[in-house]
Structures are given as C-alpha cells and as structure tokens.
A = this chain, B = another copy of it.
Amino acid sequence: MKLKIAIQGVKGSNHHQVAKDYFGENIELVECMSFDELVCQTLSGRADQAVMAIENSIAGSIIPNYALIHHNNLHVIGEHFLNIHHNLMVLPGQKIEDIKEVHSHPMALLQCKDFLKSYAHIKLVEAVDTAETAQQIQEKQLMNIAAIAPKAAAELYGLEIIANEIQTISNNSTRFLIINKENKALPPEEINKASIRFIADHKRGSLAALLNVMSDCNLNLTKIQSLPVIERPWKYAFFVDVTFDAYQDFTKAKSLLEIMTEEFKILGEYKNARV
C-alpha cells in the first residue's frame, strides 16, 4: 500500500517536491488547501504523514504552524531543506508585455519583489498555493495572467516559463517538517536534533539561565523564537531547536529544563537534515 502524504497545495508545488525528495516516488498525495486542512487530514488518519513548511531564510518562521503542531499534539519526525526556485509561467505564446496580473503565494510574491518591481503595470494577486495558479491558468486557459511557481508545475500543466529564477536572493532555502500523529521515535543514536517548547518568566536573566544549561549540556541552538503567552502578560513561550552529537547530552538537558521551565514539551526528536 502506498504511503499517503498530506501536502499544502497541489501537484507541482514545493510541498510536492519535498514529499518526493523525502519519501520517494511511490506515494499517494493528499492535496490540502490550507495548513489547517493538512492537520485535519493527518489527525483523522486520511494521511499517514504530512509535509509542512516551517521557515525560510527570507521571511523567517511560519509561526502559526508551530502553534498548529503544538495545539494538536502532533510530532515532528523529520525535516527537509529545499532550495526554492521561482519561475514566471504563462500559457504558451504569451509574452511578458501581455501579462496584467501575476498570481502566487504571498511568500513567493515577496521573494520576487525586486524582479516584479521592474514591471509596474503588473498587478500582484495573492493565491493560496504556487502550483494551483499554474493549474488554473491551464484549466481555464487564462490569458494575461502569469503564475510564479516551481518548474515542475510548468511541466505538469503545460505552461511556458518566460523568466526563470526570478527570486531576489538565489540562496533561498526553505525548511519543511515531516509531521506524524504518533511519535515514531528513531533509535537514539540516529537522533541529533530536537524541537522543544517551554514557558519562562519575563524575569531578568531567566532565559539566559536556560541557555546556559543548554550550552553546558553541549547543545547548539539553531533557532529561537519568543511568543507572548496569551492571557498571561509576563510569561513567554519559546520555540527552540537544538542540535547535539550525543543523545544522552540532550536527555540531561531535558531533565534540567523540565524543572526550570513551565509546560516543557518536546515537539519532536529527529535527524538533522543540514550537515
């Protein structure tokens, strides 16, 4: 039986690419039009696992996705980095002068801002997904509209790329998480990264003390994000990612942080995909 993988967006999207890179070709896609739907499909068991974008080097974290994982008690069981390439695509024969509107995901529009600035006559329209617009241009034979989408979408939906690699910054790496309803724990010797969440005081030095503990336990911080805790003015929730060489170092830090923080929780223990 094929593994059912939930992705945000449709075939040809970046999420689709990650699903192929991570799980191989022999998968059944569950296309979702929002991250909420993606979570529902995973919780209900209609998808076995899900691929979820979590941060990129230009726009930072997609913080609502952290909240989705946390509130639904999902488990992070892996990560994958994808270099994003944005291409401008249209119905065959259309030229850049013909384009009146460019449709894409807000993040893609943001990442191609500099390119788009030189075409002031083109209106930018936000869409839910990159590849979906490509699909619609083909289905509805939309003239004067271009999509910004991955190359795979142009191939899949028979569109012509009239400008490639139009992202402002060439090294545009996006991090995706692999999400599961159950905690499919790896053997400890394969685990060298973890995502944790905890609550700490606003009190002077409290975060510094926690970071000292992590550092003493040989953990490297690869990400930190504070978020005020709703209804509790002087408390902050922290989402932190750490890497480590030895799992027992993490175990030690874990037992200390459990005592020093409130609501300490491990969102996932997995293999670092960036080496």
Q: Which residues of A contact B (CB under 8 A)?
A: 36, 57-61, 63-64, 67, 106, 110, 113, 126, 128, 169, 171-173, 202-205, 207-208, 211-212, 214-215, 218-228, 230-231, 236
Contact = CB atoms under 8 A, between A and B. Distances in A.
Top 3 nearest A-B pairs (CB, nearest first) are: A60-B63, A205-B215, A208-B211
Contacts of A172: 230
A95 to B, nearest CB: 26
B224 A226 contact: yes
A52 B148 CA distance: 27
Contact of A224 (B36, B128, B224): B224
A106 B208 CA distance: 35
Contacts of A205: 211-212, 215
Given A59-B63, A60-B227, A220 B202 contact: yes
A222 B202 contact: yes
* Copies of this chain per assembly: 2
Contact of A204 (B64, B202, B219): B219
A171 B207 CA distance: 25
Nearest to A233: B274
A172 B230 CA distance: 8
Contacts of A67: 58
Given A36-B113, A204-B220, 9 more contacts: A57-B227, A169-B230, A169-B231, A202-B222, A204-B215, A207-B224, A208-B208, A208-B212, A224-B225
A68 to B, nearest CB: 11
Nearest to A239: B60
Given A219-B204, A224-B225, A230 B60 contact: no
A262 to B, nearest CB: 17
A4 B202 CA distance: 36
Nearest to A110: B64
A222 to B, nearest CB: 7
Contacts of A204: 215, 218-220
Given A60-B61, A113-B36, A211-B207, A226 B228 contact: no
Contacts of A64: 58-60, 110
B36 A230 contact: no
Contacts of A126: 126, 128
A2 to B, nearest CB: 29
B225 A60 contact: yes
B225 A171 contact: no
Contacts of A218: 204
